[in-house]
Amino acid sequence: MSRLFALVDCNNFYASCERLFDPRLIGKPVVVLSNNDGCIIARSNEAKALGVRMGDPYFKCEKFLQAHDVAVFSSNYALYGDISSRVMALLRRLEPAVEVYSIDEAFLHLSAMAGGTLTAYGGQLRRTVLRWTGIPVSIGIGPTKTLAKVAGRVAKKNAALQGVFDISGADVDEILGRFAAADVWGIGRRLAERLALSGITTALDLKNCGDEWLRRNLSITGLRTAMELRGISCISLEECPVSRKSIASSKSFGCQVESLAALKEALATYVEQAAVRLRAQHALANSLEISISTNRFSKTTVPYSGRRVITLPEPTASTTVLINHALPALAGLYQPGLRYQKAGVVLFGLVPESHYQPNLFAGQDKKSGPLMAALDRINGKWGRCTIQHAAAGLTKPWRNRQQKKSAAYTTSWQELPVVKA
C-alpha cells in the first residue's frame, strides 16, 4: 500500500506544558518568556487574540499583560523537554515509523486508506495523545511531508476540523491558492520576498513554476519543494536522528559579570552542558571554541567580543579534559574592567566514538569514560547538576533571570506536585 505522511504538532506547546499542572490556566491567556525573561516566545490562543505578538520585549508589554490578566512564565526547558519526550515516546508506541522533527513536532508514516477512515484514525490518535500526556495536538495528513505541513496548518487554524485534516482528500489547488508562499515549509520570509519579485506569492504559484526556472533561481532545494507541493514525495522520513556536526552552549547572564572567577564558573557550566549532549550522541570532539562578549547595546559598557579556538591533543568527550583546556584559554580573552553579558562554547570536529582510532603512543585514560558514564547516570536519575565539577561553582549568581519560572514538576524530587486528599 502507498504511504502517507502525518505531521503531529503540539498546540502552543510551551503554554500547554504550563497548563498541564495548573488547570486554572485553561481558558486564560498565557505567555512564556525567553532566557532572562527578555521577550515573548510562546503564546496561548487567548493571548494571540489579545494581539500579543511573538518576540515582543517583555518590558514593553508588561503593563498590557497585567491589565489583561495574562499569566506570564519564564521558560522552563526542563519541563518542556521532559513532556516532549513523553509525547514522542507515545507516538513511537502507536506508530512504528516516527521522525522527531522538533521539540513539538513529529512526522509519522501512515498506510493509505479511505479519507474518512484516515481522518477518523487521526482523531483517535489525537485523543490518545491528549488523554495520555495532557498535550493537545493538531494532525495534518498528506502524500508528502510538505503537504502534511500545509494540512497541519489548516487543521490548527480551522476549529471545525477538530484538529485533524487530510489534504489528500481535498481540493489541493484551492488550498494552496490561499496559502502564502512564505508559509511553505522550507521557504521562509527572505526567500518569499525574492519569489514575490517574480510574481510568486502563493504556494500554488510555486507549485506551478517551471522546473528549469526553479532549479536556476532556487536550486535543487526549491525544485524539491515544488515537487512535494505537486504530491511527489522527495523528502523521506528520517527515523534515525541525524548526528550534529557541532554542539553549542551559549547564554546571556542574568546580571553583568566583571570578575574572571565568575566568567570561569559560567564557561565551565556551559562546557558541562555541551559535553553531556556530546556523550549522548556517542561522539568525541576534536576542537572547541570559547567566546565572551559585553552588551553591544549598552551605552555604558565598552563593546568587546573575543573568541578562541582550541585544538585538542586527542578527540574527547570528557568534561574534565574540556574544562582543563577551556579555562586557561579564557584567561587570555579576559580584559579587566569590562562588564560581560554573555559567554559560550562550541564543540566541533565531531567524530563517532566507535570509529575513533586511539593514538598508539599516547597514554590511555581508562578512567575517564566510566567516570563520565557514572556522572551522566546519576544526573539523569536525580536531576541535572546533582554532581558537577567544582569549577562550575555552586551559587552561580550570574545564572539566567527566571523570576516567573514554574516548578520542574517531572524532573525534580523537590518540586513534585503535592496532592492532598
What is the C-alpha separation between 71 and 15, in angstroms, rounded?
Answer: 10
- Digit-coded pLDDT (tens) for 318-371: 999 999 999 999 999 999 989 898 899 999 988 888 766 666 555 556 678 889
What is the predicted pLDDT for the residue at 362? 57
At 7, the pLDDT band (50, 70, 90 cuts) reads: very high
SS3 185: coil
The owner of cell 541535572 is 384
Tell me the whole-structure pTM to 2 decimals: 0.79
C-alpha cell of residue 184: 511553505
166 and 119 in contact (C-beta within 8 Å)?
A: yes
Q: What is the dihedral of CA 332, 333, 336, 338, to 10 degrees?
A: 180
Nearest to 278 by CA among 327, 335, 318: 318
CA distances from 194 to 152, 178, 181, 188, 209 (A): 25, 19, 11, 10, 14
- Digit-coded pLDDT (tens) for 368-387: 888 999 999 988 877 777 88
What is the predicted pLDDT for the residue at 414? 78
What is the predicted pLDDT for the residue at 238? 80
Amino acid letter, 313: P
Share of the chain above pLDDT 90, in %: 56
The owner of cell 549568581 is 397
What is the predicted pLDDT for the residue at 236? 87
Mean pLDDT, range 122-135, rounded to an integer: 95
CA distances from 88 to 28, 124, 218, 263, 375 (A): 27, 16, 33, 37, 26
SS3 309: strand
Mean pLDDT, range 270-276, rounded to an integer: 93
The answer to whether the Cα torsion of 79, 323, 317, 340 is positive or negative is positive
Among the listed ranges 67-81, 164-178, 212-226, 290-304, which one has the minimum average pLDDT value? 290-304
At 128, the pLDDT band (50, 70, 90 cuts) reads: very high
The answer to whether the Cα torsion of 193, 197, 202, 204 is positive or negative is negative
C-alpha cell of residue 50: 489579545
What is the C-alpha separation between 163 and 37, in angstroms, rounded?
Answer: 31
Is the predicted pLDDT of residue 289 greater than 70, yes or no?
yes
CA distances from 385 to 276, 375, 389 (A): 11, 10, 9
Nearest to 352 by CA among 241, 239, 247, 244: 244
* Cα first-last separation, the chain: 52
Q: What are the structural domains, with CATH classification, of the chain?
A: 3-10+80-229 (3.30.70.270), 13-77 (3.40.1170.60), 246-359+381-392 (3.30.1490.100)
The widest CA-to-CA distance across the chain, in whole angstroms, is 70
Mean pLDDT of the chain: 88
What is the predicted pLDDT for the residue at 179? 94
Question: For residues 410 and 400, which has the higher predicted lDDT (pLDDT)?
Answer: 410
C-alpha cell of residue 223: 525544485
